[in-house]
Structure 1
Amino acid sequence: MTLIREIREDDAERFLHLCLRLDQETKFMLYEPGERTTTVELQRDRIQAILADGRSTILVAEEIGELVGYLAIFGGNANKTKHIGHIVIGIIEAYTGSGLGTSLFHAAEKWREESELTKFELTVMVPNERAAALYKKMGFEIEGVKRNSIRMDGMYVDEYYMGKIF
């Protein structure tokens, strides 16, 4: 059974390993293989800062001691955007289509109830139809298109801006 919980500082090495694995497995995450330069120490510091922030968190999915997915919420810093949480989600290929993404979003919404966030936002590459379908299922709507947002495989790819208001 997959456990979904808030990240801890002692997850830094396993979380970095998860991110590096996602860089290898999918073209739909931001970093390409070999591009991520974060160390375990820097990852630990970042986790500590996120948890101390109060408007941000990382929820991790753990299966038999291995992190297999995550959903991060980054709250706005400026007074005018403190109500918005930007979402980043990643799930290893072996767990996609298993309902884990839905479970992570449900956990994020439960976490949000204790925060001052009234909106979630995210971007998704237009060709990532599976992810866009999940986000729509979770109540997100396309709010705009960011043209030529990503350069992937020598071509420019558009991204959808998506949001969900609570």
Structure 2
Amino acid sequence: MEDCTCVVRDLSYVVRVAQEADAQALSQVRLQIDGETEYLDREPGEGYLSEADLEELINRDRAKPNRLFLVAESKGAIIGFSRCAGSDLIRLSHQVEFGVGVLKDYWGYRVGKELLQQSIRWAEGNGMLKITLRVLETNEKAMEMYQRFGFEVEGVLKKDKRLSDGNYYSTILMARFT
């Protein structure tokens, strides 16, 4: 996949495939994002991935034709990332699950949208027939964006997550067919 340069208002950033050298920064960015939003599955520090863990993940993804790990970088700093993770099982080899994270300071600059667009292009070009994702029911802006890109609701996991307010929220399962 080729690098993609984006300019939105006063922000210039590049979307590119993650490299092993990104592992340390990705570990820190992932931890920071977990503390900035409740839209993701993890509380800050849960499911922590160290630099070594991320190096291994990046290398594993680069070696598999049904996996893609992208980063968004601005002025030498990683500001977001996305991942398409496919299965090693033959019966599931036609699909990938998409996930994305963007630092809160960069919300509104279309970073998530660009990561999604690049992932869709990659999936279409690599024979992936289905892209799936999970989104918290309260993340209406994300759901609207996914629907604009052809994702449809496939199901609902009711009372799937308990957030810091003590209430339970549903996870929406969405998919796009290429």
Shorter-normalised TM range: over 0.9
Query: 1:155 and 2:148 equivalent?
Result: no
Alignment of 1:1-166 (within 5 A): 1-153=12-164, 154-166=166-178
Letter in 2 for 1:152: L
CA offsets 1:15-55 (integer angstroms, 9 cap, x no match) = 11110110111111111112233221111111111111221
Letter in 2 for 1:84: Q
| Matched residue count | 166
Q: Please identify runs of 4+ aligned residues in structure 1 that moved more than 4 A.
A: none
Change (3 A) 1:77 1:11: same
CA offsets 1:112-156 (integer angstroms, 9 cap, x no match) = 233121110001010111211111121111111111211212222
Letter in 2 for 1:156: Y
| Sequence identity percentage | 28
Shift of 1:6: 0.5
Letter in 1 for 2:146: Y
For structure 2, the 5+ residue unaligned runs are: 1-11
- The alignment's TM-score, normalised by the length of structure 2, stands at 0.88
Letter in 1 for 2:59: Q
CA RMSD of aligned residues (A): 1.2
